């Protein structure tokens, strides 16, 4: 059983499940956050439900926590825990993907646990003493996302390994046709506030378009429906037509393929979590700025900056972000430096297949 605790983690879980099933494994997945849209090839366990924060309640305000509770978070948690307990004796191994809370939940399934720690890194959010206690007690092995974190866990007596960054394994292959103009790619995120984030990014595009010709591409997640996009952009005077978002002077191309869109970018502007990290790992400078919402707060931006280093270009607000984009478009050497920083911080792909091989070898 794969237990994943976030949207990016679901994508890793789907890739791992596909790799295991392709080699004869029998896999079930349980996404603890949201509906598990990223799982395309693996059967899912219930209950699943989308809550207001999209898993970020305890990184947000008390208002967000209260909204979660009013939406039934406590009841959902109890149901999920009981569902995991009912799986006792049905699987030989449980793989937790995400953070120590997800690992703790996974242990209710009563099988030996492997932990793929995608959420924490020594760069930005080191494991605290309680998380280390949970990992040491429940995980037979922990796969961390970078060597720095592995070394820290080893120093605390935890069996940790680095085999690559699994978040780099779940990016679609492919390239978009080359463009004659500079390309700026927008990442609105995949949480419930993605539509609101999109309208903010479109207003930034309109400001940039007044300075020079630019090709804008928006990589929309599967969680953001066309209807939700249309409702949101209508409120700021935009419309969706023929695969484009349009205002009087500005057009933004829509892409549902994240990897090809980001590879085409000269600069990325992101209000996302995992997607920002993956864009940095593909060697793209990522301009960010804080907004009101569940995820991309000033605190989250600071944490992500610590994680990604020079790959991330923090701005004070939308206006400052537009200036940062223009500076980067004019400076190829800065783009190259920040791109290399992102590749170094995010690390290499290949972790998913290495972990799958280790899991199957352990079962032989």
Cβ-contact 200, 270 below 8 angstroms: no
Residues 147-156: what's their mean pLDDT?
98
DSSP per position, 253-265: EEES-HHHHHHT-
Residue 295, pLDDT score? 76
Position 29 pLDDT exceeds 80: yes
Torsional class of 242: left (φ above 0), alpha (ψ -120 to 50), beta (otherwise):
left
Residue 212, pLDDT score? 95
Position 56 pLDDT exceeds 50: no
Position 187 pLDDT exceeds 70: yes
Residue 24, pLDDT score? 85
DSSP per position, 247-308: -SS-EEEEES-HHHHHHT-SEEEE--SHHHHHHHHTT--EEE---SSSS--HHHHHHHHHHH
Pairing of strands 29-31, 94-97: unpaired
Rounded Cα gap, residues 141 and 249, in angstroms: 54
Q: Which of 93-107, 149-163, 283-297 comes out lowest in average pLDDT? A: 283-297
Across the chain, what does the average pLDDT equal?
Answer: 92
Cβ-contact 172, 191 below 8 angstroms: no
pLDDT tens per residue across span 273-331: 999 999 999 999 999 999 987 678 999 999 999 999 999 999 999 999 999 999 999 99
Position 162 pLDDT exceeds 90: yes
Residue 337, pLDDT score? 98
Residue 46, pLDDT score? 85
Q: What is the pTM of this model?
A: 0.90
Residues 71-82: what's their mean pLDDT?
82
Residue 51, pLDDT score? 58
In this prediction, what percent of the chain has a pLDDT beyond 70? 93
Residue 260, pLDDT score? 97
Q: Which of 1-5, 72-76, 163-167, 283-287 comes out lowest in average pLDDT? A: 72-76
Position 68 pLDDT exceeds 90: no
Pairing of strands 251-255, 267-270: unpaired
Cβ-contact 23, 361 below 8 angstroms: no
In this prediction, what percent of the chain has a pLDDT beyond 90? 80
Position 73 pLDDT exceeds 80: no
Residue 215, pLDDT score? 97
Position 96 pLDDT exceeds 80: yes
Residues 48-59: what's their mean pLDDT?
56
Torsional class of 204: left (φ above 0), alpha (ψ -120 to 50), beta (otherwise):
alpha
Residue 67, pLDDT score? 62
Grouping H, G, I as helix, E, B as strand and the rest as coil, residue 140 is strand
Pick the CATH number of 2-165+349-363 from 1.10.357.10, 3.40.50.2000, 3.40.50.450, 3.30.540.10: 3.40.50.2000
Position 54 pLDDT exceeds 70: no
All CATH 3.40.50.2000 domain ranges of the chain, comma separated, are 2-165+349-363, 183-346
Spell out the residues 6+ positions from residue 239 whose beta carbon is closer than 8 angstroms to its own: 230, 233, 245, 246, 247
Rounded Cα gap, residues 250 and 17, in angstroms: 42
- Measured in residues, the chain has a length of 364
Angle at Cα 273 formed by Cα 126 and Cα 19, nearest 5°? 85
DSSP per position, 190-242: SSTTHHHHHHHHHHHHHHHHTTS--EEEEE--TTS-HHHHHHHHHTTT-EEET
- CA-closest candidate to residue 144, choices 192, 98, 181, 190: 98
Q: In what order do the strands lie in the sheet with 113-117?
A: 29-31, 2-4, 94-97, 113-117, 139-144, 160-161
| CATH 3.40.50.720, domain 183-346, yes or no | no
Position 261 pLDDT exceeds 90: yes
Cβ-contact 253, 220 below 8 angstroms: no
Position 192 pLDDT exceeds 70: yes
Position 97 pLDDT exceeds 50: yes
Direct distance between the N- and C-terminal alpha carbons of the chain, in angstroms, rounded to an integer: 17
pLDDT band at 69 (very low <50, low <70, confident <90, very high): low
Position 155 pLDDT exceeds 90: yes
pLDDT band at 34 (very low <50, low <70, confident <90, very high): confident
Position 59 pLDDT exceeds 60: no
Residue 254, pLDDT score? 96
């Amino acid at each position: 059983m794969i237990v994943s605790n976030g949207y990016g983690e679901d994508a890793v879980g789907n890739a791992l499940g596909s790799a295991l099933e392709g080699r004869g494994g029998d896999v079930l997945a349980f996404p603890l956050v949201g509906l598990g849209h990223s799982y395309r090839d693996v059967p899912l366990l219930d209950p699943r439900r989308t809550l207001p924060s999209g898993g970020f309640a305890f990184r947000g305000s008390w208002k967000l926590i209260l909204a979660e509770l009013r939406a039934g978070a406590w009841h959902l948690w109890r149901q999920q825990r009981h569902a995991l307990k009912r799986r006792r004796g049905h699987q030989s191994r449980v793989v937790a993907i995400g953070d120590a809370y997800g690992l703790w939940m996974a242990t209710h399934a009563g099988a030996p646990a492997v932990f793929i720690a995608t959420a924490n890194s020594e760069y930005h959010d080191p494991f605290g003493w309680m998380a280390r206690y949970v990992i040491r007690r429940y995980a037979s092995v922990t796969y961390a996302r970078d060597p720095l974190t592995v070394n820290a866990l080893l120093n605390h007596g935890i069996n940790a390994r680095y085999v690559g960054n699994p978040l780099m394994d779940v990016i679609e292959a492919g390239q978009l046709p080359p463009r004659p103009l500079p390309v700026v790619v927008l990442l609105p995120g995949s949480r419930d506030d993605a539509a609101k984030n999109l309208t903010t990014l479109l207003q930034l595009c309109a400001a940039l378009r007044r300075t020079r010709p630019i090709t804008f591409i928006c990589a929309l997640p599967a969680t953001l429906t066309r209807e939700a996009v249309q409702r949101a952009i209508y409120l700021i005077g935009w419309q969706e037509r023929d695969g484009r978002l349009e205002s009087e002077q500005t057009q933004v191309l829509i892409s549902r393929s994240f990897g090809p869109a980001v590879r085409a970018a000269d600069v990325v502007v992101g209000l996302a979590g995992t997607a920002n990290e993956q864009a940095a790992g593909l060697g793209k400078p990522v301009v960010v700025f804080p907004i009101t919402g569940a995820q991309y707060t000033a605190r989250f931006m600071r944490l992500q900056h610590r994680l990604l280093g020079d790959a991330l270009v923090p701005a004070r607000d939308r206006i400052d972000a537009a200036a940062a984009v223009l500076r980067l478009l004019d400076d190829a050497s800065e783009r190259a430096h920040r791109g290399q920083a992102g590749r170094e911080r995010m690390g290499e792909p290949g972790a998913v297949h290495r972990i799958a091989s280790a899991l199957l070898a352990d079962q032989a």
